[in-house]
Amino acid sequence: MRSYLFVPGDSEKKLAKGLASQADVLLIDLEDSVAQHNKQEARTIAANFVKHHQSQQNRPQLFVRINALDTGLTEADLAEIIPANPDGIMVPKTLSGHCITQIDAKVSAQEALAGVQQGSIQLMAVATETASAIFNLGTYGNASPRLCALTWGAEDLSADLGAETNKDETGALTSPYKLVRELCLFGAVAAGVQPIDAIHANFRDLDGLRAEATAAKRDGYIGKMAIHPAQIPIINEVFTPSFEAIDKAKRILAAFQEAGNAGVVGLDGEMLDRPHLRRAQTLLSRAKSAGISID
């Protein structure tokens, strides 16, 4: 999955726009974008939206961001949303892998009550929104077989730190948030789940979005979250492997296959070893996920 678009769960109009955005995943929000007095209405709208579109062909994945475990709202969110059978649940403000284990148990219970296939609903964690959570980014491995992705966020974290801003005068992340971005990448890969980059908050700054997404892809992230439909085409473009990259990856695989079980092969005057093979295999897997035929 390349692009993850946040949509307020209490806005039918914005949900409809999100569905037409070409995002790979809609993140239907019950948390930050929904006022406290509107939580129940958001649950109802979100559940009905998921039910209505769940069987639709060629739709985005439908994930629902619930309220954090310490809000007292989690149980009500899950009780309303799980019977609609979403593709996944985004869990905000996790402190460690233990939070995901807790949510796994709650989702399993609601699946059983609703007659939803056990284990079918995935989990995605926003793992960096408090200072204490940063020290636990290595705890998500084996937290739950449902866990499919780990992402990070700078906005809640900067508020927790009491920072004036999370970006410098050039618009680049300041050093604490660069560190967190890197640690989240390590944590996701160590847990064997997809690393997804944070939002680019200025939705009118499409050049900045492209630069940020390109850097994220370079470093190992495989997708990025968005807050506006206008951001989706750029994110999809950046995180879709180019035909040149696909062709090279295919030739790397062919070179290793022709060489048998060799540890090193030569291609185009370059010596390639097993890490090159792994990167080629990963790139081709991402191309398939983006709907590109590599045969």
Phi–psi pair at 21, nearest 5 degrees: -85, -10
pLDDT at 195: 96
Q: Greater confidence, 185 or 170? A: 185
For 216-270, how does the pLDDT look when each residue is reduced to its tens digit (9 = 90+)? 999 999 999 999 999 999 999 999 988 888 888 888 888 888 888 788 888 888 8
Task: State the amino acid at position 129 in one-letter form.
Answer: E
What's the pLDDT band for 86 if we cut at 50, 70, 90?
Answer: very high
- Average pLDDT rounded to a whole number, residues 265-293: 81
Return the structure tokens found at 268.
């185009």
Closest CA to 149 of 105, 94, 192, 93: 192
For the CA atoms of 123, 129, 133, 137, the dihedral, rounded to the nearest 10 degrees, stands at 50
Phi–psi pair at 155, nearest 5 degrees: -70, -55
Phi–psi pair at 184, nearest 5 degrees: -65, -40
What predicted TM-score, i.e. pTM, was given to this entire model?
A: 0.88
What's the pLDDT band for 199 if we cut at 50, 70, 90?
Answer: very high
For 171-197, how does the pLDDT look when each residue is reduced to its tens digit (9 = 90+)? 889 999 999 999 999 999 999 999 999
Look-up: residue for tokens 């090159």?
276
Closest CA to 70 of 97, 99, 98: 99
What does the mean pLDDT of the chain come to? 93
User: Are 123 and 144 in contact, with CB atoms under 8 Å apart?
Assistant: yes
- Average pLDDT rounded to a whole number, residues 195-215: 95
According to DSSP, residue 60 is labeled P
* DSSP-derived 3-state class of residue 225: strand
pLDDT at 106: 98
Longest dimension (CA), the chain: 65
Kindly tell me the number of DSSP H helices and DSSP E strands found in the chain: 11, 10
Which run of H or E residues covers position 227? Answer: none
Q: Is residue 291 predicted with pLDDT exceeding 80?
A: no
Complete domains list, the chain, with CATH? 3-239 (3.20.20.60), 243-289 (no CATH)
Look-up: residue for tokens 């009500």?
76
* DSSP-derived 3-state class of residue 116: coil
pLDDT at 220: 92
